[in-house]
Each structure stands twice: as C-alpha cells, then as structure tokens.
Amino acid sequence: MKSKGIVALAVLLASLSGAGCATWQVGENGEMPETPRRIEAPNILDASGDESETVLRSALADSSRRILVSKKRRHLWLMEDDRVVFDAPVAIGRDTIFRYNGQTWDFSTPAGRRVVQGKETNPLWVPPDWHYYEKAVERDLEPVRLTASSRVRLSDGTRIEVRGNDVGRVNQYGNFWPFTPGAEIIFDGKIFMPPFGTRQRQIPEVLGTHRLFLGDGYLIHGTNEEDSIGSAVSHGCVRMNNEDVEVLYAQVDAGTPVYIY
C-alpha cells in the first residue's frame, strides 16, 4: 500500500508540472501550500475587438520577457517565450467619460503596446485636477485653485494659507497648522486644490507599495483598496494587490514591453 501511495503522489506532481497548468509557490520556510495557484494563460479568444486582437497577437508572437494585461478577463501575466512566469488579477479603468468646465477626461485603460519607463517603491500619488473636479461634482462644491501666495479668509475668521511646501490653516491667534496629506480641504462650500509641489498634493498609500510607469500618466500600481481588484473602477491605471505588484516589480526592468488588450 505504501508503494502505491508514493506512485500516486509522483503521478500527481508530474501532472501539475505540465506547461500552463499550475505553479507551486513555496513559503518563506520552504513549506508547500495546500493547493497550487492556477495559471490560465492568455488566449486569442480573449480579444474583444480588432484592435485588441492585433495587440494580443503581437504579444503572443513576442518572445521577450513581457507583461500582458487582459481588460476582458481583468488579469495580468508576466511571460517569457511561451512560458507564464507570474500572473495575478487586476483592476482596470472604469470606461467612463468625465466632463467639467469644458474639459474632458477618458477614464478607460487604453489598449496598445507600452513599455515600462521606470519603477518606484512607496509612491506618492499627485492627484490631477480632475480629482478635485470629481469631488466638486459629487458634493456640489466650488473648486478653488490655490497658488504659492494664496491667503483665503474663511467665514469663521480663520484663513487658508500656503507656506513653502505646506497648505495649512491659520487660526485667530496666527498659529499655522498644515493639513494632513490626503485629507480633502473643504470649507464654506468650496474644495481647495493644493498647488503642485506641496505635501498636501502628494498623497501616500493610494498607489500601494510599488508602481511601474507606462507613460502618459498610466501606471501599474498597488492599492489601498484591494477589494477593488477584479473590477473596472480605476481612472485608467492597472491596479494590483500589493503583494502581487511587489512580485512583478522585482521581475521586470525599464524597457519591459507591456501589451494591454
């Protein structure tokens, strides 16, 4: 009976080692997980249109180490030749158009070929103007753009002031208190937009622990909202769980092709 059990185990392990089947991720202490992580390789059937199919065919013909992102399956693969090195679920753009004050923003994740242009750990998010305009629409607020010399008096007698690289509030006694980065500055029915370069325009944690620059403002990055993974909720970037983007970050360099289809 013992020999039959060993043979059965050997057959099981051999079947799991087949190309494109599954991969075992060993723990820090060398222990094996209870179940393998399933890898579902990219398939030409994933293409959702002519442009998507063209991008995917190019990605599958490429033999270099490259990243593939399926918007339809909301999944990312790191491949080399025809081998899947790593894969993970992602969130993508919400596919909506936002218009405000004569300006238009497209919050989709565009299909095409890009290249990793750089990498960064512990990134800070610098909100574009549309972030404040969205909040203004959601809460029926008036956006107010602050400058390096701004001093805005509030209805309670205090004022908002920009001092160096900080935006803060000055109380009736002249004491200056910087606002916490990441907190929206809302008073008197207005939302105040901190100047670029101030700490209040540099928000921690939103982009998670790592990011890859893809150009034109698009990123692959982590998130502080991991429940969003698998959904179409971003403003165009590709989001990953922090533990997944950390793995990807360690395995790609600047110049790595990225195919989004």
Tens of pLDDT, residue by residue over 117-157, are 999 999 999 999 999 999 999 999 999 999 999 999 999 99
- Using an 8 Å Cβ cutoff, are 92 and 110 in contact? no
Whether residue 30 is predicted with pLDDT greater than 60 in this model: the reply is: no
The stretch 36-57 carries a mean pLDDT of: 78
Please tell me the predicted confidence (pLDDT) of residue 3.
Answer: 42
- Looking at the structure, tell me whether residues 134 and 8 fall in a common domain: no
Element (H, E) at 244: helix 242-251
- Looking at the structure, tell me whether residues 59 and 116 fall in a common domain: yes
Predicted confidence band of residue 111 (pLDDT cuts 50, 70, 90): very high
Of the listed ranges 21-35, 76-90, 94-108, 204-218, the least confidently predicted one is: 21-35
Among residues 201, 228, 251, the one where a domain terminates is 201
What is the C-alpha to C-alpha distance for residues 3 and 97, in angstroms, rounded to an integer?
64
- Looking at the structure, tell me whether residues 147 and 173 fall in a common domain: yes
Please tell me the predicted confidence (pLDDT) of residue 172.
Answer: 92
CA distances from 124 to 32, 70, 115, 182, 243 (A): 36, 26, 21, 10, 18
- Looking at the structure, tell me whether residues 183 and 58 fall in a common domain: no
Domain housing 29: 1-38
- Looking at the structure, tell me whether residues 98 and 224 fall in a common domain: yes
Predicted confidence band of residue 39 (pLDDT cuts 50, 70, 90): low
Integer-rounded Cα radius of gyration of the chain: 24
Catalytic residue among 75, 210, 235, 237: 237
β-bridge mates for residue 121, sequence order: 210
Please tell me the predicted confidence (pLDDT) of residue 44.
Answer: 78
The stretch 155-174 carries a mean pLDDT of: 97
Please tell me the predicted confidence (pLDDT) of residue 48.
Answer: 78
Higher pLDDT among residues 246 and 30, named by residue: 246
Please tell me the predicted confidence (pLDDT) of residue 32.
Answer: 37
Question: Structural domain tally of the chain?
Answer: 3
Among residues 201, 227, 252, the one where a domain terminates is 201
Catalytic residue among 75, 210, 221, 235: 221
Please tell me the predicted confidence (pLDDT) of residue 38.
Answer: 52
Residue 60 is part of a domain; what is its CATH number? 2.40.440.10
What is the C-alpha to C-alpha distance for residues 217 and 59, in angstroms, rounded to an integer?
22
* Mean confidence (pLDDT) of the chain: 87
Nearest to 260 by CA among 83, 22, 73, 21: 73
- Looking at the structure, tell me whether residues 71 and 23 fall in a common domain: no
Please tell me the predicted confidence (pLDDT) of residue 99.
Answer: 98
Whether residue 254 is predicted with pLDDT greater than 50 in this model: the reply is: yes
The stretch 43-55 carries a mean pLDDT of: 84
Please tell me the predicted confidence (pLDDT) of residue 37.
Answer: 52
Among residues 154, 179, 201, the one where a domain terminates is 201
Please tell me the predicted confidence (pLDDT) of residue 43.
Answer: 76
Distance, first Cα to last Cα, the chain: 51
- Looking at the structure, tell me whether residues 119 and 213 fall in a common domain: yes
- Looking at the structure, tell me whether residues 119 and 142 fall in a common domain: no
Q: Residue 237 catalytic? A: yes
β-bridge mates for residue 186, sequence order: 191
Give the angle subtended at the CA of 67 by the CAs of 64 and 73, to the nearest 5°.
Answer: 135
pLDDT tens profile 175-234: 999 999 999 999 999 999 999 999 999 999 999 999 999 999 999 999 999 999 999 999
- Looking at the structure, tell me whether residues 116 and 46 fall in a common domain: yes
Please tell me the predicted confidence (pLDDT) of residue 10.
Answer: 37
